[in-house]
Structures are given as structure tokens and as C-alpha cells.
Amino acid sequence: MIARVVVDVPLAHLDRPFDYAVPDELVADVRAGCRVRVRFAGKLVDGFVLELADTTEHTGKLAPLAKLVSGEQVLTPEVAALARSVADRYAGSMTDVLRLALPPRRAAPEKRPVADRPAPPPAPDPAGFGRYPTGAALLTAVAEGRPARAVWTALPAEDWPTRLAELAQAALSGGRGALLVVPDGKDLDRLAAAAERLLPPGSVAVLRADSAPDTRYARFLSASRGSAQVVLGTRGAVLAPVRDLGLVVIWDDGDDLHAEPRAPYPHARDVLVHRAHLASCAAVVAGTARTAEAALLVESGWAHELVADRATLRAAAPRVQAVGDEFEQARDPAARSARLPSLAFRVAREALAAGTPVLVQVPRAGYAPGLSCERCRAPARCTHCAGPLGVSATSGAGGSRVAACRWCARPAAGFCCPHCSGTRLRASVVGSARTAEELGRAFAGVVVRMSGRGSGVLATVPPGPALVVATPGAEPVAEGGYGAALLLDAWALLGRADLRAGEETMRRWANAASLVRSGGQVVVAADAGHPVVQALVRWDPAGLAARELADRRELGFPPVTRIAALSASPAALADFLGALRLPEGADVLGPVPEPPRPGAGAPGAGPDDERERYLVRVPRTQGAALARALHDVQGVRSARKANEHVRVELDPLDLA
């Protein structure tokens, strides 16, 4: 018997299965998908059996399997095919993808007996999706096992965890499995609580990155063995082995937490959409806002919109006001320049007087994370490492706050501006800690809570009047909803040099505003004429996404094109590009200096070599050809044992 094994050797020129002979003593135990040890290039390495065969194309004598690590079939045929496809799409190796897909083995969970699969639940009540014209039809299609695809834009204040759990219930009622992916642990907790209420006990496996190794592996086994047919998780769960997969769902696909930082850098949304295509199952891309990638799915006809009509939307949405509109300018001439104008104070006071909490979203954490010269407004830099100066939320000796470098932590008590010789500093960026301090003085006697990095992320806040200062993504849920939300420092979001600045701003604002109860108020501190502000006032994320997609098509940016970012030293890049056979219609942009990494140049960070970056752009139809060409060059360089690795990332989020 022959075992085709993918070996755990992450070299591009070895990205293929190898045949090994199965010793007689292991024939009864070796199965497709199990873990083995094999001898490769004189060393014992780990591997997974892809399949068993009777013949081989190898002409010489086959080496035998060295050891059967475990007979557990952890690599299902569907996941193996998906891993190969993802590796090909992102110009990576299958070994790298399998490292993302399969958790390390733990012996204790494998010894536990296989649990019985719970009986299917009844079909969910369609009333939850009743506010969406095609919502009930989507539930029916999922229950019947049809490959329905939808881009769902949730209404403000929607109980989205319950809606997603109802979709999973529909899949279970038809005898199919479901895979639901959310950005972070806070969202996962809400989704798991909703699934626990609606789905049969034992039918759900929650894959958390912070779980104990035994717990995570046990939950993984419950899915691979088929006892748990619904898997909930963050981006690491996109390759989970769900049996009889009938539905994949991703919530808030624009969140950058869905982008995998490890090679080959896949995005959870793209993997799930691709998985739905390979498995011919239903797919839902959901969120309070909409990305250009989701808009392209709708425009291409691959997915249909799931949105409420305007009358329903108007009844559910809070009232959104911009401080820069003509009425407020006439009422408060300083509204455009004030960080917290009179409109925001008035709305906050009204909500607090009504006994409801007020959400204050601040883009930056810390106290004063950015400082500049008070005289010439030049950014203040460290004299030792040229890092940015800032003031942390923690006080120094005697309660004072001392400016210090954010890279090397050296204090900057004797600041002298190299441009104008000024010696005084001012805050160019105000963080959440200072905002909370200022609001505490402005609203004396009102409880001020903070949620975000440094202070801790709150999941919920109790009812009652309070000011909740949070950074984007860390907004806690208020029981009954917030009475109002203040969206401050819009310039910090809209002014970023980023392709996705407008889209990301809309996503962050919509996520915060959707926590406000129906009839509540939202104040955004931005110019009312800005397209993103207008989209928020009208609550039209779909229209903004369509406009964003049209702009990117005109400029040749993703998702209508595919872009590969190549980063290395100039010599390595010259060698790489010299061997690269680009597909027709490709553009090579660059070189430019590689975007600086946090801590670059700080003591202890090591020398930062002169690295450059090229961008290779092709039409979307040539994306597969570009990935193959990049992988081929990586294979040649790997075989030649090139001294330097060239980082290859397809469809990077950051193009700044």
C-alpha cells in the first residue's frame, strides 16, 4: 500500500505530496487524514496522509513510513482540497495553510469516546428575518440545502448574533453543517451565547484562539468527527473540518482582524467565499456596513442583497447629525473647529437626563499619543531614535504626565524643536484616556467608563446614565441600547493615507451607531458635505460601497484587480523580478521604501536593512496566473537556496 504524504517542510520547491510505502504492521491503522512521521532528507519530519493508493509514479524504491503518530483523521478530504486551493490562490505552500488549519495534537482528547450527533432541531422562526423582504426565503434555501448566497446589511440595533444563530439552525434542520466566523472574542462570546439558546446541546464547537490546548483540540475533534456540526470561531476557524457543510457566514468582513498575518496571508472572507464555491453551499457576508469586496459579489451576481426597505430602515435607525451642517454652523460658528461642539454636549445631556448611557467613540487609545511643537506645529520626535513623542495614560512621579518616546520610552523633558527652537509641546492627537478625563470634568457627577487597549475591553455596560469612552471595535453593548453616540476626531479616520480610509471609517461609525436604540441620536464631528458623512446620515452603506467600487475600478485598485506586494532588499527584488514571468496586462509599480514597521530604529530592534517594495498589478481574471508565476519563482529560489527570502503577499489590505 502507498501513502501520499504532505510533509511539514515549508520550502516552495517541495510543495507537493510524496509517496511512502506503508509497512505491514501499520496497514490496518494508517488512514487518509492521519498524522505520520517520515524520513525526509535524512531527518524525521511530521506529515499528513492525503490518500492511500496501490500504485506510484516513483520509479525507485519507496521509503517506508517511520511512525504512525495518530490514527485520528484530522485532515478531511474537503479541507485538504481547500488548503491546496488557498495555497494556489495566495502563491503559498500547502504546508503553511495546514499549519493554520490544524491545531497541534493532544493525546488526551483523542482517547475520549466519540459523542453522538444531536438530533436536528426544527426550522427557525422566520420572524427574526421578517424585516428583510427576502430574509424568510434565505432561511428556507439554507434549510433545503440550496447554495443561496447573500450580502446582508443588518439594520441598526439588530440582534445580529441571534440572526446568525438562526441561519445555523436552518442549516442544522436540513441535516447540514454551518461555519460562522466573527472578528474577535467579544463578538464570539455574543454569538456563542445566542447559539447556546437556539441550537441543540452538543451541536456547537467554539474554536477560540485563547482556549487551553486540550480544550481547543477537543472542540476541533468534535467537528472533525462530526458530532458538532456547527463551528463558531475567529479567522483561525475558516478551515475548520465541518462535516456536510451547508452554510458559511462571516460577520463584519471589513474588520482587519480577518486578515491572517502569517503566510500565505489569506483573508477570512475570501477563503469562506472560495469554500462556498468548492462545497456548493450557502454563503452570507454580513455586517452593519459593506465593503467594496462585498459590493463586487453583488455586482457580479454571485450574491444577492439582503437589505430592509427604506421605511423599515427609517423606523430602526437613530437620528444622525453632523456638526458641520449649515444649521449647526449658524447656531454655533465654532462647531467646525471645536472637538466637542455644543451640539454634542446638548445631545449627551439629553440622553443622560433620560437615564440612558452615552457612547463616545475616540479613534486613538492612550492619553496624548501624538505631540507637536506648540509654535510651529511640527511633529515632535525623539532625539535618540527619531520615534514619535507621546504622553501615556499612566502618570509619572507626583501625578505629572511626562512626554516620552513611543518607541524607546526615553523621557523628553528637555524638548527643543529642531525647526523653530520652540520648547513647548501641544497634543496633536488626543486619546481616549484624556477624552475621558475631559468629559469627567464637563459632566460632573456622571459615571465615566473606558473600554479599549490599556483600560480593558468591556463586553457590556449596565443600564443607567453613564459616559462610555471606547476606541473602535471595543464598544460595549448597552442593555436596551445607548441613548446617544458621539463620534469624535473624524479627521483621524478620514484623513488617513489609506485606500480603505472611507470604507473603514463608515464601518467603524456604523458599528458604533448601530448600538444606539431606535429614536436615539448620533453626532459625528465631521464636515456634513463629506461623502462618508452623507452616507452615514442617510444610513446608506450599500450606496457608499458601490461608489467606492466604481472609484477603484476607474483607478485600477482591488478588488477589481489583484495586487501582489513584494518586499525584500533591492538585490533580492531585482533577482526575483528578473525571473518572474508576468501574465498579460501586468503592471509593475515601484520600487518604494517598504512601509516602516513599529519599533524600527529603536534600540534593541536590530538594524533595519534598506528594504524596498514593488507592487505587481493584474486584471482580476489574471489573478490565478500571477499567483502561479510568483509561486514558481519562489520555488526556483528555494531550490537554489537563495540567501534572502522575498515576502510575497497577494491582495494586501495596506497599500499606503
How crowded is residue 217: how many other Cβ atoms within 10 Å of its Cβ?
22
User: What is the CATH number assigned to the segment(s) 2-75?
Assistant: 3.40.1440.60
Query: What pLDDT, on the 0 to 100 scale, is given for residue 340?
Result: 79
Radius of gyration, CA atoms only, the chain: 27
Segments of the chain with pLDDT less than 50: 326-330, 334-337, 395-399, 598-608
Q: b/e string for 566-597 if b means 16 or more Cβ within 10 A?
A: bbbbeebbebbbeebebbeebeeebbeebeee
Query: What pLDDT, on the 0 to 100 scale, is given for residue 263?
Result: 93
Phi, psi of 180 (to 5 degrees): -120, 125
Which of 202, 217, 211 lies closest to 72, judged by CA? 217
List, for residues 502-527, the tens digit of each pLDDT value: 999 999 999 999 999 999 999 999 98
Residue pair 523/323 in contact by the 8 Å Cβ criterion = yes
Distance CA 208, CA 187 (A): 11
Identify the CATH class of 126-311.
alpha beta
- The rounded Cα 238 to chain-centroid distance in angstroms is 12
Query: What pLDDT, on the 0 to 100 scale, is given for residue 332?
Result: 52
Which of 160, 164, 237, 172 lies closest to 201, judged by CA? 172
- Which distant-in-sequence residues (6+ apart) come within 8 Å of 540 by Cβ? none
- The rounded Cα 288 to chain-centroid distance in angstroms is 15
User: What is the CATH number assigned to the segment(s) 561-650?
Assistant: 3.30.70
Residue pair 224/74 in contact by the 8 Å Cβ criterion = yes
Query: What pLDDT, on the 0 to 100 scale, is given for residue 596?
Result: 62
Decide if domain 318-366+431-538 falls under CATH 3.30.70.1050.
Answer: no
Handedness of CA 386, 387, 390, 394 (dihedral sign): negative
Query: What pLDDT, on the 0 to 100 scale, is given for residue 46?
Result: 96
List, for residues 94-123, the tens digit of each pLDDT value: 999 999 999 999 999 999 999 999 999 999
Give the bridge partners for 204, in sequence order. 230
Distance CA 99, CA 488 (A): 41
- CA-CA distances (angstroms) from residue 257 to 83, 265, 267? 20, 12, 9
Strand-strand pairing, 467-470 and 448-451: parallel
Which of 318, 341, 306, 252 lies closest to 538, judged by CA? 318
pTM across the whole model: 0.90
Cell numbers 475533534 correspond to 221
Fold match between domain 126-311 and domain 318-366+431-538 = yes
Sequence spans of domains, the chain: 2-75, 126-311, 318-366+431-538, 561-650
Query: What pLDDT, on the 0 to 100 scale, is given for residue 144?
Result: 96
Edge to edge, what strands does the sheet with 204-207 contain?
Answer: 204-207, 230-233, 177-181, 245-251, 282-287, 149-153, 304-306
Distance CA 177, CA 232 (A): 11
Torsion over CA of 53, 56, 60 and 65, rounded to 10 degrees?
Answer: -20
